[in-house]
Every structure is written in C-alpha cells, then in structure tokens.
Amino acid sequence: MTTRPVVYVTRRIPETGLAPVREACQVRLWEEELPPPKSVLLQEVADCDGLLCLLTDPIDEEVMAAGTRLRVISQMAVGVDNIDLRAATARGIPVGHTPGVLTEATADFTFALLMAAARRIPEGVDYVRAGKWRTWEPMGLLGVDVWGATLGIVGLGRIGTAVARRARGFAMHILYYDPTRRPDLEAELGVEYAELDDLLARSDFVSLHCPLTPETHHLIGEAALRRMKPTAILINAARGPVVDPDALVRALSEGWIRAAALDVTEPEPIPPDHPLVSLPNCIVVPHIASATVSTRERMAAMAAENLLAGLRGERLPYCANPEVYARPL
Ligand code: NAP
C-alpha cells in the first residue's frame, strides 16, 4: 500500500478545495481563525510533501529550507508576493496560484469602491445612523460624477481589463499604464496608453491593478500623489504596499487628492487607530475584493488542483514560477 502524501493547509478553506485534498492526502489543517505563527509553520512543513497556503503566510527561504520534503506550494490567491518565488524555483518547487477565477469579483468590487468613494456612500450611511438626516439637502454630501470621467488603470492585466470593461458602461475615458503596451485592448476597448506621470495628472480616478513587486513597492508615494488632480480619487484593490500609507495620509489630510478607497493596506490588517481608518475621505475595507461565495469556492478548487498535480509530479495547471520547469536538472 502506498502512503498518502502529507499536506499542511494553513487555514480552513471552502470544501471545494479541502474535500479533494482530503481524499488524496493526509491533511493537517490549521483550524484557528488567525494564521499559524511562523514557528508553527516551520514545524509543520518539516515533514510535508505539499503546502496549501494563503497570502497571510510568509513563505520565505526559511520555510522552504525547513520543508525538506516539500514538492509543491499551492496558494489560494492570484498574487504571490508573500512567497519567495526565486527561492522556490532554486529548490525546484513549483508554486501554484489562482489566476482568472477571481478576476470578475475583484473588478466588481473595485467598481463598488470607486462608486462608494465618488458618491460618499459610507459617509451617507454614517449620517443616517447618527440621526443627522433631517431634510433633503441641496448642498449636502455632494460627490463627483463617475459617468464621463477619466479613469486611469495602473496594470492592464486580467483585473485591470475587467475594470476597463465596466468603465465603458459608464462612458468613462480610460487611460492605462502597463510595462507591456496592449494594442489589442486599445482597439477593442478604446483604452489609451499613457506614461504613469501623464496618467496620474489626467485621471479623475486612479485604480491600481499591478502586482506587488520591488518595482511597484510604494509606486504611489508623495511624488505620484502630488501629480494627481486635487479632485482625484485613488482606488487600491491590488496590494497595500503599492501605496505609501504615510504619503497617502498627508495627501488626504492636506487636499492633494480628494479621496481614497482601499481594499488593501500597509500594514495589513491596518490598526483601527491608524489615520487612514478615521479620515472621512478614506474608505478602508478588510481585503474582501474576491470575497464572494462562488469565487472563493473556485479559488479553493483551483488551489487543490494545483496541489494535487504537483504531488503527482505533473506540471501545475496554474503555475506562478513556470521557469521551475526550465531549470537544469
Ligand atoms: P495580471 O493579469 O498579471 O495583471 C497585472 C498587470 O500589471 C500585468 O499586465 C502586468 O504587466 C502589470 N504590471 C506589472 N508591473 C507593473 C508596473 N510596474 N506598473 C504597472 N503595471 C504593472 O494579474 P491580475 O490577475 O490582474 O491581478 C493583479 C493583482 O491584483 C495581483 O497581483 C494581486 O496582487 C491583486 N489582487 C488583489 C485582490 C484583492 O482581493 N484585493 C484580488 C485579486 C488580485 P506585465 O504582464 O507586462 O508584467
């Protein structure tokens, strides 16, 4: 009888992912609400063949060194900035992720944030709850138009493109900045390429959809925020550290820009007494852009698919470090 591979799952995920993994593997599951501490992670990976992790787990060189048997790392997220991909590749470990299945949910939510900030929905909710609604006010809670405004998309990948498709329905003029120029999408969606500085200066809304990399870390800092219009709104549903939080606090307090809406923050979670949480022109929500029932179910199923393929020695269907397959044996 062959022994089943040992797998560590760092949090309870939807059954669409857990069930197939349980069927094929010996599963050790971290059942707590908060992520496993690093010391637990290091201990658990020591005798594991596979790891199914989340973006809250720092999977660095130390974890990989401890996981001497690790044959595959499968993350239930598309972004893999918490994983040292270079270290994984050097060790011959393929890393799975979940592109595509969360694109539409994340784009929907990006638009929800954009609309909420433009039309001041959370402030309106607070207003009613505080008993301040006494009459229809001709000058009360005035926002800005979304329809016909200029949207600047930073990173025209899967999610950026899905946001652009939605923006067309609002007759927005769409600018994009991306290291790769996309003439196909320019023709199909009528989006206009702009250098980042130009995009920042011309956009009424700037929406971030690039991955977090050394190049994009604090991409939106003081210089970028000062380039934006004083009436502009920043939306971040990418990764927190793409925006410098200290610069953003100053931008929002001193009126360099009008407002911001953040699904992601630096640090994450953001402390409740952080100025970004209390500023009336800043919306902060707890990294929920992909949080729909069906999207999370599909993400979990995809993470299981990657994990099981890796354990069988097959190529991962959705691999974040495909160069691992090109490395010399
Ligand atoms: P994707 O298809 O790979 O798109 C990312 C795009 O950003 C690519 O076109 C990429 O260009 C571009 N890019 C890379 N470096 C850039 C830079 N310096 N400046 C501007 N653009 C740059 O990925 P996706 O599926 O759309 O996801 C994008 C990111 O969203 C993920 O990495 C993840 O961090 C985040 N995300 C967040 C949530 C959430 O819950 N808030 C959910 C899903 C995803 P190249 O291809 O030329 O490199």
Are 118 and 88 found together in one domain? no
Q: How confident is the model at residue 2 (pLDDT cuts 50, 70, 90)?
A: confident
Cis peptide leading into 317, omega within 30 of 0? no
Active-site hit among 239, 258, 296, 298: 239
User: What would the pLDDT profile of 23-69 be if each residue is shown by its tens digit?
Assistant: 999 999 999 999 999 999 999 999 999 999 999 999 999 999 999 99
| CB-facing half-sphere around the CA of 198: CA atoms within 13 A | 9
Q: Does residue 239 sit in the same domain as residue 312?
A: no
Residue among 78, 161, 283 whose CB has most ligand 1 atoms within 8 A, to mutate: 78
Q: Is 320 in the pocket of ligand 1 (CB under 6 A)?
A: no
User: What is the tens place of the pLDDT at every residue in 166-184?
Assistant: 999 999 999 999 999 999 9
**In terms of domains, do 307 and 322 share one?**
yes
Residue 81 Cα: closest atom of ligand 1: 34
CA–centroid distance, 310 to ligand 1, in Å, is 24
Domain tally, the chain: 2
Please report the sign of the dihedral spanned by the C-alpha atoms of residue 246, residue 251, residue 257, residue 260. Answer: positive
Task: Say how far apart CA 292 and CA 107 lie, in whole Å.
Answer: 12
List, as own/partner pairs, every contact residues 269-276 make where C-beta atoms lie below 8 angstroms and the sequence separation is at least 24, other chains included: 270/240, 270/245, 274/245, 275/249, 276/245, 276/248, 276/249, 276/252
**Domain annotation covers residue 260:** yes
Q: In terms of residue numbers, what domain contains 260?
A: 103-284
Q: What is the pLDDT of residue 286?
A: 98
CA distance 327 to 69: 19
Same domain, 28 and 93: yes
State pLDDT tens for residues 283-320: 999 999 999 999 999 999 999 999 999 999 999 999 99
To the question of pTM greater than 0.75 for the whole model, the response is: yes
Q: Do 241 and 116 share a structural domain? A: yes
Please answer whether residues 281 and 255 qualify as being in contact, where contact means their C-beta atoms are separated by less than 8 angstroms: no
Mean pLDDT of the chain: 97
- Tell me: pLDDT of 277 over 60: yes
DSSP 162-178: HHHHHHHTTT-EEEEE-
- What tens digit of pLDDT does each residue of 224-276 get? 999 999 999 999 999 999 999 999 999 999 999 999 999 999 999 999 999 99
